[in-house]
Amino acid sequence: MDLNWLDDLIALAEHRNFSRAAEARHVTQPAFSRRIQSLESWVGTLLVRRSPHSVALTAAGEYLLSRAADITRDLRQMRRGALKIAGREQAALTIAATHALSFTFFPAWVRAAAPLEALGTLNLVSDTMAACERVLLAGDADFLLCHHYPGLAERFEPERFAFIVIGTDHLVPVSAVDASGAAMFELPKATNTPVRYLAYSASSGLGRILEHAGCAPGKNLPLDTVFTSPVAAALQTMARQGHGIAWLPRSLAQDDIAARRLVCVGDAAFSVPVEIRLMRARAQKSGLAEAFWQAASCVPEKMPTDMFTKAELGAG
């Protein structure tokens, strides 16, 4: 039995597609398929129904999925506990953070939370929201740093996971400017002409937020998706090059907006307020992790991400 096989099953259940799940697991599709088949051989029954157009778990697969995250987390925590007792566990913290927060928010925030020299070894895992969720659920990270939209369904059971709000941000629609300095693309409330849209892919937490907030194609907005990526920085580059409109965390886009390489479009109603959360499992952590959690809880809740006025948000 290989624990990676259970992680593969979790990824397949999330993406419902072998190619996308293999990409999320950083393996080729043939290798990913072989690993799922190996898991089925170990269990002794089919776990996945395959068809040319869809993937679904069997009843056995659904049962195994319901236990997989707990099993992998508990086994990895058991291994770390054994290493700690043996005196071989390295004093280290692991924080999983989404790409957008890794680039902008994390460096200043972690300095405010605790001096790096007091943390020992600090490991930052930067990935998509879906991948970061898997890392935390598997017990391979002490904390998860992510955006959250109030009202969006929780993916972590409150009885097993805790969070603190450590900052705020906004997702704002931005466009490049033309030679006259005006926005190349506008975002009217109603039009029959679709606007070129740079979208987040399914594994992105920001994409989930925009979908829930109604800022997505088919949500009464005339958007024509021309490019997708799970990484906000990639959408930022495409927007700067004039390929369409993208909703970016304003903490990420602030330099481009200040330099007028990008401008906000639409009015303030299109700005989506989000929280920045630090999450952890409620199960007891190492003394270092507990001390860091307490230190992070004492950092002023609103980090300096709110840098634009309402007038600037509505400017274009």
Number of structural domains, the chain?
A: 3
Taking each helix axis from N to C end, the angle separating 250-258 and 232-240, rounded to the nearest 10 degrees, works out to: 20
Asked if the structure places residue 70 within a domain, the reply is: yes
Q: Structural domain of residue 122, as residue ranges? A: 92-168+274-297
CB atoms within 10 A of CB 281: 20
Give yes or no: residues 71 and 198 share one domain: no
Give yes or no: residues 32 and 126 share one domain: no
Which two tokens mark 136?
A: 């935390």
Give yes or no: residues 184 and 99 share one domain: no
pLDDT score at 117: 58
Give yes or no: residues 112 and 65 share one domain: no
260 φ/ψ sector (left φ>0, alpha ψ -120 to 50, else beta): left
CATH code, 150: 3.40.190.10
Asked if the structure places residue 11 within a domain, the reply is: yes
Asked if the structure places residue 226 within a domain, the reply is: yes
Asked if the structure places residue 203 within a domain, the reply is: yes
Give yes or no: residues 173 and 269 share one domain: yes
CB atoms within 10 A of CB 202: 18
Give yes or no: residues 105 and 253 share one domain: no
CATH code, 12: 1.10.10.10
Q: Could you report the per-residue pLDDT of 204-252, keeping only the tens digit for each?
A: 899 999 988 887 776 667 888 999 998 899 999 999 999 999 999 998 9
Give yes or no: residues 102 and 163 share one domain: yes
pTM: 0.69
d(CA 216, CA 210): 6
Give yes or no: residues 161 and 291 share one domain: yes
Give yes or no: residues 227 and 96 share one domain: no
Q: Could you report the per-residue pLDDT of 245-301, keeping only the tens digit for each?
A: 999 999 899 999 999 999 999 888 889 999 999 999 887 667 778 888 888 887 655
Give yes or no: residues 231 and 178 share one domain: yes
